[in-house]
């Protein structure tokens, strides 16, 4: 049976064309809805679409629902999907308007509103950082006094570590408040000391069919605040190790509590020095930072198509066997302007070439990217190896020995 799927923003951001292609590959008829002209979509997305509608704005939910109703009048629609954080509530409105399965508006808010999600999880007895919602400077100060330093200040609704601050003192708190003047609501949270990981899943009808745990080296907030760091994320082959299994168990409880049914999720959690697993946050969408590619390389599978099969047909027929640890290294050039030269690459390829499975660097002559806006910075390299220690060794050499210079 053909499944008719509306895909919100099929061409942006970077991984969305792969998910759109996945839908077509499992036999879905895909209707794309976006704010880009059809010609501007990547070829992979265009070729997967049965039809496309460009709208003036994706963020006017009422107008988008009316547009879809008129555009698809007389045609079947079985699902509406969006894997981009800003569009999660808009696609939830579409689902409710058309009586489609998936997260509705209220459930979607629990995945977007960091304070709401933590309140739900607190009620279920899941360990979260101490937290409070604040909309005024006075509320921020009162929450900070109750929670104590160090603490985290970040937007209630957001993605990644944008506008997120780790604060050690009242002076730092005052500076952060000034920088967050454009944010209407913030979450004031206990700072959790420990290693930071992900818990990523593919689910169908409430059953987790595939999961991944990635380890951030260093934490995303540290990556963002230090321009000289080449961040590394490692998708772990062994998620049953005791120090990782605690996060897997935590993640399963979170997904069950929030009532997620079919699709992909991305959760972040902490393992403290005392061995406690503490929830960070979760999104009912795909992870960024090319982590889906890391999952693919780790298990020699296609998670993009796997997601499509899960949401369209309620199953995952691909063989799931995580044989490799996979490190994603994101390079940041030194200097400003255009890339002038790249050093150390030949030596790294000579030593580790068989374990470097992806190499995508900004070419010499092209402008360097703003790492605060583009997670992969000036390029990304993928290393994989069955042994975790060896994976870390190679990734660290790539992070330090490969240098890019701009000027």
pLDDT at 176: 87
Question: Looking at domain 4-103, does it have CATH number 3.40.50.20?
Answer: yes
Mean pLDDT along residues 114-120: 89
The mean of the pLDDT values for the chain is: 93
Q: What is the pLDDT of residue 378?
A: 94
Q: Is the pLDDT of residue 101 over 60?
A: yes
Q: What is the pLDDT of residue 112?
A: 84
Question: Domain coordinates of the chain in residue numbers?
Answer: 4-103, 113-125+192-319, 130-190, 324-407
pLDDT at 161: 58
Q: Give the pLDDT band (50/70/90) at residue 375.
A: confident
Residues, the chain: 407
Confidence of residue 162 (pLDDT cuts 50, 70, 90): low
What's the CATH fold of domain 113-125+192-319? D-amino Acid Aminotransferase; Chain A, domain 1 (3.30.470)
CA-wise closest residue to 400 among 230, 156, 182 = 230
Q: What is the DSSP string of 331-346?
A: ---BSSSBEEEEESHH
- For residues 147 and 133, the answer to whether their CB atoms sit within 8 Å is no
The token pair at 15 is 């991984």
Average pLDDT over residues 234-254: 97
Class of domain 324-407: alpha beta
Q: Sorting pLDDT into bands at 50, 70 and 90, what band is 157?
A: low
Fold topology of 130-190: Dna Ligase; domain 1 (3.30.1490)
Q: How far is CA 22 from the centre of its chain?
A: 18
Task: Give the C-alpha separation, 260 to 267, whole Å.
Answer: 12
* Spatial separation of the C-alpha atoms in residues 244 and 322, rounded to whole Å: 15
CA distances from 67 to 97, 105, 223, 225 (A): 12, 19, 41, 41
Q: What is the pLDDT of residues 322-353, one digit of tens each?
A: 999 999 999 999 999 999 999 999 999 999 99
Mean pLDDT along residues 24-49: 98
Report long-range pairs for 392-396 (Cβ below 8 Å, ≥24 apart): 392/234, 392/327, 394/327, 394/352, 394/355, 394/356, 395/232, 395/234, 395/327, 395/329, 396/232
């Amino acid at each position: 049976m053909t499944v008719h799927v509306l895909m919100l923003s099929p061409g942006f951001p970077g991984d969305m064309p792969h998910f759109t292609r996945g839908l077509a590959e499992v036999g879905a008829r895909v209707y794309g809805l976006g704010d880009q002209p059809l010609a501007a979509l990547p070829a992979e997305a265009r070729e997967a679409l049965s039809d496309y509608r460009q709208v003036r704005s994706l963020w006017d939910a009422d107008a988008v629902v009316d547009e879809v109703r008129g555009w698809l009048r007389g045609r079947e629609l079985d699902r509406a999907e969006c894997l981009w954080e800003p569009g999660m509530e808009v696609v939830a409105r579409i689902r409710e308007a058309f009586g489609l399965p998936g997260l509705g508006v209220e459930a979607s808010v629990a995945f977007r509103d960091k304070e709401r999600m933590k309140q739900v999880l607190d009620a279920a007895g899941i360990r979260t950082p101490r937290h409070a919602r604040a909309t005024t400077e006075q509320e921020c100060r009162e929450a900070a006094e109750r929670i104590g330093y160090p603490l985290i200040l970040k937007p209630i609704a957001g993605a990644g570590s944008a506008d997120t601050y780790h604060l050690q003192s009242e002076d730092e708190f005052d500076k952060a408040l000034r920088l967050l003047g454009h944010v209407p609501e913030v979450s004031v949270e206990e700072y959790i000391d420990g290693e930071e990981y992900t818990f990523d899943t593919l689910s169908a009808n409430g059953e987790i069919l595939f999961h991944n745990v990635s380890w951030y080296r260093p934490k995303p907030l540290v990556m963002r605040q230090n321009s000289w760091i080449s961040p590394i994320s490692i998708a772990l082959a062994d998620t049953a190790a005791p120090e990782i299994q605690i996060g897997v168990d935590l993640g399963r409880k979170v997904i069950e509590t929030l009532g997620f049914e079919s699709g992909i999720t991305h959760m972040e959690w902490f393992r403290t020095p005392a061995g406690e697993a503490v929830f960070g946050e979760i999104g009912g969408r795909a992870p960024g930072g090319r982590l889906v590619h890391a999952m693919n390389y780790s298990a020699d599978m296609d998670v993009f198509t796997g997601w499509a099969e899960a949401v369209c047909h309620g199953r995952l027929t691909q063989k799931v066997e995580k044989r490799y640890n996979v490190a994603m290294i994101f390079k940041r050039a030194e200097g400003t302007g255009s890339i002038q030269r790249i050093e150390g690459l030949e030596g790294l390829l000579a030593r580790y070439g068989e374990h470097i499975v992806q190499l995508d660097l900004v070419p010499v002559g092209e402008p360097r990217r703003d790492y605060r806006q583009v997670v992969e910075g000036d390029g990304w390299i993928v290393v994989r190896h069955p042994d975790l220690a060896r994976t870390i060794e190679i990734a660290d050499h790539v992070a330090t020995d490969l240098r890019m210079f701009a000027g």
